[in-house]
Amino acid sequence: MAKMASKTKQGPGAVVSVALTAALLALMALLLWRMQAGIKDVYIMKITRLCAINITLALAMNLINGFTGIFSLGHAGFMAVGAYATALLTIPASNKAMMFMIAPLVKPLDTLTLPFPAALITGGLLAALAAYLIGMPCLRLRGDYLAIATLGFSEIIRVLIMNAQPLTNGAMGLRSIPANATVAWTYGVALFTIVFMALLTTSSYGRALKAIRDDEIAAESMGVPLFNHKMLSFMLSAFFAGVGGGLLAAYNGTIGQDMFRVTMTYNILMIVVMGGMGSISGSVISAFVVTIGQEWLRFLDGPITVGRFHTDGVVGLRMVVFAALLLIIIVFFRNGLFGTKEATWSGVWRSFGKLRGLGKRGEAA
């Protein structure tokens, strides 16, 4: 996930970079495989899988917010579409009949089940369709207005889900979703998303998206059709958000409209901002850091005794830590971990060189 474009001036060449990336991926796969076999702790494996889902979700958001420069806050809505579609298409018919107590599930869906990958893709496509409908009015807006409008539409999706009893089981949500979100699926999808985004952003189409981000008027005067490109970027972003949402549904086992509030969007946005808007490797690293961090800091929510000070636990205290961290990042490191740059092997090489240089200077002194 490190090397994206190797414009090496020093350090390893392109071939070595590819080899190192392959080695890293192999190591990662081996590690995941060993963990799956060796670690009996379900909790750790759950978090490991959540990391991969968050990579997919963060990259989806980064495409529209980071690479295209459109501040969209509608991701929770697209995730909800993907999640509900995947759930409805994979839950066995008998379970569906039991679940829909108030109103029975609408006709073809009540017996229809699809294989997991087909359900995921359907979820993604439906999310992209939703993005098309939302994008029609919203993408004509700019900046804050666009953010507010997409946020509003995301809420509309949620409210629709809450009230469409025969389709979504309303406020009761969906249960017994088959646990298809295995390590292989979550990491497979994450890897596919990384490769797709890397190829997209280095293509001429991706260049046009970055041009729109940097200066709309200049991009348009160079012949880049603004609306088309924004729309396609928005729909691609929604597709991956939908797929991510589908994985999340299969990962959780149950979903409800309550999951897909604005908070969900903000959680993903935090990953993107911390990693760097417009950096794929930034989002990937940040997804691990934030996901693991949020779990690791859980002790803050429990009872704390510091000397004579004692609390019985404040729910949500760990989120305060993230809020503070985000503030620090926005104030002091506005570009996040990587800004718009990517982590490259030559970059690693350089910083390693710097460290060595520092060490030598230390010895000399």
User: How many whole angstroms separate alpha carbon 226 and alpha carbon 209?
Assistant: 9
Question: Interface with other proteins includes 221 (CB under 8 A)?
Answer: yes
Q: 57, 194, 208, 274: which one contacts other proteins (CB under 8 A)?
A: 208
- Of 35-43, 96-104, 134-142, 222-230: span binding other proteins (CB under 8 A): 222-230
| One-letter identity of residue 199 | L
Pick 208 or 235: Cβ nearer other proteins: 208
Question: Least distance from C-beta 341 to other proteins, angstroms?
Answer: 9
As a 3-state breakdown, the chain gives helix, strand, coil percent values, each rounded to 5, of: 75, 0, 25
| Cα angle value 184/32/119 (rounded, 5°) | 15
Question: Interface with other proteins includes 219 (CB under 8 A)?
Answer: yes
Pick 5 or 156: Cβ nearer other proteins: 5
Pick 104 or 225: Cβ nearer other proteins: 225
Query: How many Cα atoms within 13 Å fall on the side-chain side of residue 50?
Result: 16
Question: Interface with other proteins includes 213 (CB under 8 A)?
Answer: yes
**How many chain residues bind other proteins (CB under 8 A)?**
21
DSSP 306: E
User: How many whole angstroms separate alpha carbon 68 and alpha carbon 106?
Assistant: 38
Angle in degrees, 0-180, between the axes of helices 262-275 and 280-296, rounded to the nearest 10: 120
Q: Which residues of 102-140 are buried (b: 16+ CB within 10 A; e: fewer)?
A: eeebeeebeeebeebeebbbbbbbbbbebbeebbeebbe
Question: Least distance from C-beta 278 to other proteins, angstroms?
Answer: 7
Question: Least distance from C-beta 238 to other proteins, angstroms?
Answer: 24
| One-letter identity of residue 85 | A
In the stretch 318-347, what mask flags binding to other proteins with x, by CB under 8 A? ----------------------x-------
Question: Interface with other proteins includes 14 (CB under 8 A)?
Answer: no
Question: Interface with other proteins includes 10 (CB under 8 A)?
Answer: no
Pick 169 or 283: Cβ nearer other proteins: 283
Q: 204, 306, 316, 331: which one contacts other proteins (CB under 8 A)?
A: 204
Pick 225 or 359: Cβ nearer other proteins: 225
User: How many whole angstroms separate alpha carbon 17 and alpha carbon 171?
Assistant: 50
Pick 145 or 227: Cβ nearer other proteins: 227
Q: 36, 110, 170, 220: which one contacts other proteins (CB under 8 A)?
A: 220
Pick 97 or 199: Cβ nearer other proteins: 199
Enumerate residues 247-286 that contact other proteins by CB under 8 A.
278
Question: Least distance from C-beta 346 to other proteins, angstroms?
Answer: 12
Q: Is there a contact between 31 and 44 (Cβ–Cβ < 8 Å)?
A: no
Question: Residue 208 burial (CB < 10 Å; 0-12/13-18/19+)?
Answer: buried
Question: Interface with other proteins includes 7 (CB under 8 A)?
Answer: yes
Question: Interface with other proteins includes 26 (CB under 8 A)?
Answer: no
For 48, 85, 109, 232, 257, the CA distances from 104, given in Å and listed in that order, are 36, 17, 10, 36, 18
Q: Which residues bind to other proteins, rule: CB under 8 A?
A: 7, 9, 204, 207-208, 210-211, 213-215, 217-225, 278, 340
